[in-house]
Structure 1
Amino acid sequence: MGEALGRSHEIALTQGELDEARLSHQDSWVTFQTFEKARRAPGDVDADLLLVHGYGDYGGKWVANAAEFVRRGYRVVALDLPGHGRSSGLHVFVPSCNILTRALASVVEDIYPPNKQLFLMGHSLGGFLAINYALQYPPAQKGGKSESDSHSHSHSLLTPQRPHLAGVYALSPMLGISPETRPPWVVETVARMLASLIGHVPLIRSDGSLKTEDARVIAETLSDIRVYQGALRIGTGLALLSGVESINRDVSKLNTPLRICHGDADRVTLCDASRQFVARADNTRGDKSLRIMHDVNHVMLADRPTPLSREVVNDAIAWMDQYCGRV
């Protein structure tokens, strides 16, 4: 499509797509949108950018911030994670973070020819998933093999049909949970006892106002039917905690360029966890960096451009420009 960016609620499965799913006995799907220039110009980057939203949100929340990336030449893809937005699944029930990571991989394989350059950009849970994808699907090299095929760890999910992952830009990534958000240990203990029986049941009420002090953003989030407003489901909460533990164990294996942007006033995910993650990562190539934004809370990209979101988008473009064309 052209540079005009549409609203996410205009997306709908056609009857033909529904019939195809029924005939193939596949009752699950991942919804995504793509945005790109109708005509490319000299100097445009030749790369794709997959945007990954956070917990309870959906891909359409990114649309307002996609225009600058499209103008730079990126083909922008915004997906709805399983159990979110218009993708299938019980609303925000995530029994395993790897299910979400595999969803990213399925979108990549669906829309990308092999070996095309790709960047991932994610917020919060989406930032975690973008990094986790880089760990699970190491960068593809010529011939379709990954840099770590010869010594891949046991849970790597490898496929030759993937592009070269050029870099990950993570906003407020879920690498550590703030004490203001994490439930008391007693609640976690009870949740673990109940998970196998009623993991889908909502248990822990979250306070959306912890994410931002912007009253407009809070009001619009509460009125948006595509944003999950319920309590955190037992199984989802435990899956997120398990994912955080796992990704921090594997930090030394990350061989993809990484840029983390985190606010030091974040009340949802820990800024210190991002500091520690970058400090522990292998940075012999100088491709891991961290930007701390003073007095900034969790939400950096709202549903419309703001001075903060423009600053973040410009930082992301400047960082990705360093790696465009390197394969």
Structure 2
Amino acid sequence: MEAVQVEELTSGASGRIIPVFKNIRGSMPSSESVKEALILFYSTFICFLLLLLPRSSRISCSSTPSPSSSSSMSPSSPKSSVRRRLGSTRFGIWRDEEDTMRRRALAEAVEMVPEGGDVGLSVCKWNKSLFFGVRMNALFCRSWFPATGDLKGILIVIHGLNEHSGRYAYFAKQLTSCSFGVYAMDWIGHGGSDGLHGYVPSLDHVVADTGAFLEKVKLDNPGVPCFLFGHSTGGAVVLKVASHPHIERKLEGIILTSPALRVKPAHPVVRVVAPIFSVVAPRLQFKGANKRGIPVSRDPAQLHAKYSDPLVYTGPIRVRTGHEILRISSYLMRSFKSITVPFFVLHGTGDRVTDPLASQELFNEASSRFKDIKLYDGFFHDLLFEPEREEVARDIINWMEKMLHA
């Protein structure tokens, strides 16, 4: 298979390039690259000073106190400074909650049984609910079940970065027509779940929430075989979840589409400074990001639907989110040989967001007894939204049925 040119450190599902140090690549530094370097130096210097200062010296002072203020509650006192900080924190929490409520209303309105496609797909039952994760954050969930007949198994869908579970309603319809139940969960900061849109404080939290959600699904459906599905960064999450033995024992296998396994920053320096920026300014968005979305499907209608969806985050990637992607990708690339869960990895050779060669490397190195790979010639990143999505879905269903009879 030929090497594919992969865009560097994109925002995943929204496909927006994050060229933080793109201008530095020129032989002569431009004014823009000099400005970025100065900002980097200044931020690093401030962070270093804050780490050196004693805690008592880090409390900032405000304007001169009014005569009516008592000495014990003066604006320059530690207690007053804490109050200001709490006020700022409360404002941030209120802003996040407002953002969550707006998105949750949009998530509630998403059509659960979309029209179009194969008219032979059967009718299904569906539901929407909230699941409270390991940090007690409310996560928006969906489920679809066949209206009649025996249940072969359950597939739990973990979406990709910046998208949401509602985008997989048609895929769920395909699965229910083949007697599979489907659950899907929006990550923190995505879809109708808690958090600031597009902000992921830790992918380890997403991993833990996914494991807890699987436990809940197993309790609600005793004896029914379960599979985990993850797309893009969601594929990386699923792979890490399934690497835990107590989780692996609960699964028949995992399915990964276009998993984010080898993610490179826009410049080698980014890997060094990303941990610093993720602490100093974790929610910061890089305003210099390319505003053109990377094509993730060869179907123009699917591209338009994705980038016009208000629940799909299309802003520049946030610093902490980008750092978390680099971190989980690096961890997984070092851990391929320890993977033992049965898996099926699917990737398009024309993918410009994640690397199909990394999927091949996973297949080659993993210790799993049952493992399969399929590379689709010329397909783009969002396999389930390509013109051949019926074929891709059928390949996934066939693999699950094969595993149930293995």
Which TM-score bucket, shorter chain as reference? 0.7 to 0.9
After superposition, the C-alpha distances for 1:173-230 in whole angstroms (9 at most, x for unaligned) are 11112x6xx4223444444332211111112736422423433223222221100011
Relative to structure 1, the CA distance from residue 221 to residue 5 in structure 2 (aligned partners, 3 Å threshold; closer, same or farther) is closer
State how 1:134-149 maps to structure 2 within 5 Å.
134-139=242-247, 146=249
Of 125, 139, 155, which residue of structure 2 is paired with 1:30?
139
RMSD of aligned Cα (Å): 2.6
Query: Which protein is richer in helix relative to its size?
Result: 2
AA of the residue aligned to 1:300: L
- Provide the secondary structure at the position in 2 that maps to 1:202: coil
Kindly indicate whether residue 226 of structure 2 is the aligned counterpart of residue 118 of structure 1: yes
AA of the residue aligned to 2:365: R
Instruction: Determine the C-alpha separation between the residues in 2 that align with 1:315 and 1:282.
Output: 22
Instruction: Determine the C-alpha separation between the residues in 2 that align with 1:278 and 1:136.
Output: 18
Cα distance, 1:291 vs structure 2: 0.7
Kindly indicate whether residue 241 of structure 2 is the aligned counterpart of residue 133 of structure 1: yes
Query: What are the ranges of 5 or more consecutive residues in structure 1 without an aligned counterpart?
Result: 141-145, 147-163
After superposition, the C-alpha distances for 1:33-76 in whole angstroms (9 at most, x for unaligned) are 111023214xx52x110011101000000001111211111110
After superposition, the C-alpha distances for 1:237-278 in whole angstroms (9 at most, x for unaligned) are 011111011112222222211111111111000011111111
AA of the residue aligned to 1:36: F
Query: What are the ranges of 5 or more consecutive residues in structure 2 without an aligned counterpart?
Result: 1-110, 115-125
State how 1:185-200 maps to structure 2 within 5 Å.
185-200=268-283
Instruction: Determine the C-alpha separation between the residues in 2 that align with 1:267 and 1:171.
Output: 14
Relative to structure 1, the CA distance from residue 165 to residue 319 in structure 2 (aligned partners, 3 Å threshold; closer, same or farther) is same
Q: Report what 1:77 is aligned to.
A: 183
Of 331, 352, 366, which residue of structure 2 is paired with 1:281?
366
Work out the percentage of aligned pairs sharing the same amino acid: 25
Q: Report what 2:401 is aligned to.
A: 321
Q: Report what 1:96 is aligned to.
A: 202
Instruction: Determine the C-alpha separation between the residues in 2 that align with 1:280 and 1:183.
Output: 27
Alpha-carbon contact 2:113-2:170 (below 8 Å) kept: no
After superposition, the C-alpha distances for 1:111-155 in whole angstroms (9 at most, x for unaligned) are 322664210112111111121111135456xxxxx5xxxxxxxxx
Instruction: Determine the C-alpha separation between the residues in 1 that align with 2:247 and 2:268.
Output: 38
Alpha-carbon contact 2:113-2:173 (below 8 Å) kept: no
Alpha-carbon contact 2:186-2:193 (below 8 Å) kept: yes
AA of the residue aligned to 2:276: M
Single out whichever of 266-275 and 221-230 deviates more from structure 2.
221-230
Instruction: Determine the C-alpha separation between the residues in 1 that align with 2:275 and 2:319.
Output: 8
Alpha-carbon contact 2:299-2:387 (below 8 Å) kept: no
Alpha-carbon contact 2:127-2:143 (below 8 Å) kept: no
Of 243, 248, 267, which residue of structure 2 is paired with 1:184?
267
Relative to structure 1, the CA distance from residue 29 to residue 139 in structure 2 (aligned partners, 3 Å threshold; closer, same or farther) is closer
Of 241, 254, 272, which residue of structure 1 is paired with 2:326?
241
AA of the residue aligned to 1:166: E
AA of the residue aligned to 1:205: A
Kindly indicate whether residue 168 of structure 2 is the aligned counterpart of residue 62 of structure 1: yes
Of 208, 212, 215, which residue of structure 2 is paired with 1:106?
212
Q: Report what 2:22 is aligned to.
A: none
The number of equivalent residue pairs is 279
Cα distance, 1:5 vs structure 2: 4.1
Alpha-carbon contact 1:138-1:255 (below 8 Å) kept: no
Alpha-carbon contact 2:298-2:379 (below 8 Å) kept: no
AA of the residue aligned to 2:397: I
Instruction: Determine the C-alpha separation between the residues in 2 that align with 1:87 and 1:60.
Output: 12
Instruction: Determine the C-alpha separation between the residues in 1 that align with 2:320 and 2:375.
Output: 32
Single out whichever of 103-112 and 253-262 deviates more from structure 2.
103-112
Of 355, 360, 364, which residue of structure 2 is paired with 1:270?
355
Single out whichever of 110-119 and 227-236 deviates more from structure 2.
110-119
After superposition, the C-alpha distances for 1:62-94 in whole angstroms (9 at most, x for unaligned) are 001111211111110111111100011121212
Q: Report what 1:261 is aligned to.
A: 346
AA of the residue aligned to 1:70: T
AA of the residue aligned to 2:309: D
**Structure possessing the higher radius of gyration over alpha carbons:** 2
Single out whichever of 208-217 and 228-237 deviates more from structure 2.
208-217
Instruction: Determine the C-alpha separation between the residues in 2 that align with 1:139 and 1:100.
Output: 14
- Provide the secondary structure at the position in 2 that maps to 1:231: coil
